[in-house]
Amino acid sequence: MALSARRYAQAIFMIAEEKGDQEQWLADLEVLAASSRNPDFIAFIDSPKIETAKKTEVIEQAFTGSISELALNLASLLASRNSVASLAAIADSFQELVDSQKGVERAEIVSAVELTDEQEKAITDKLTQMVGKELSVTTYIDESILGGYLARVGDRLVDGSVKTQLEDMRRELIRGT
């Protein structure tokens, strides 16, 4: 599904560039992606047992006035293909394309606990120096790393987690160094 989500995002990106409405598409895709996180909505809209006309009617009732006509058409097309669940991935891929065009690199920071604003800024500054680009940062919490943080920028990984440090110490002790 990730490949098809990327293809949809690329097609939307081309349309948005042509019409100069990237910001509108970002907003529309955010609304649609939020709806795709509702399991009841997805169960109905992506059900092969429900007629496409009924799905389109529900989509129009739910979104007319809150998203553009083209975004409404996208949702209806995905519903006809039982693929509305991919809207979050499409929105994410579209955001990546917009960021890339603006020269912004996406970064993910994973920490064991919620970072303070100062901690997030310090890590972001370090990553910005490392890649030499403006960053769009998303943070996540994963208690399994015990402490510290993991940061991913593109294909680069900065592992400052306590879990990895402990594993490194363990390997050194076993080797006897």
Spell out the domain ranges in the chain: 2-99, 104-175
Query: What's the rounded mean pLDDT across residues 12-40?
Result: 93
pLDDT tens, position by position, 67-91: 999 999 999 999 999 999 999 999 9
Backbone angles phi, psi at 115, to 5 degrees: -80, 145
Is the model's pLDDT at 168 over the cut of 80? yes
Instruction: Please give the Cα distance from 149 to 70 (Å, whole number).
Output: 40
3-state secondary structure 18-37: HHCCHHHHHHHHHHHHHHCC
Return the CATH class of domain 2-99.
Answer: mainly alpha
* 38's tokens: 């509702």
pLDDT tens, position by position, 49-64: 999 999 999 999 999 8
User: What pLDDT was estimated at residue 104?
Assistant: 86
pLDDT tens, position by position, 151-162: 888 778 888 788
Of 162 and 28, the one with more pLDDT: 28
Q: Which residues contact 57 (CB under 8 A, 6 or more apart)?
A: none
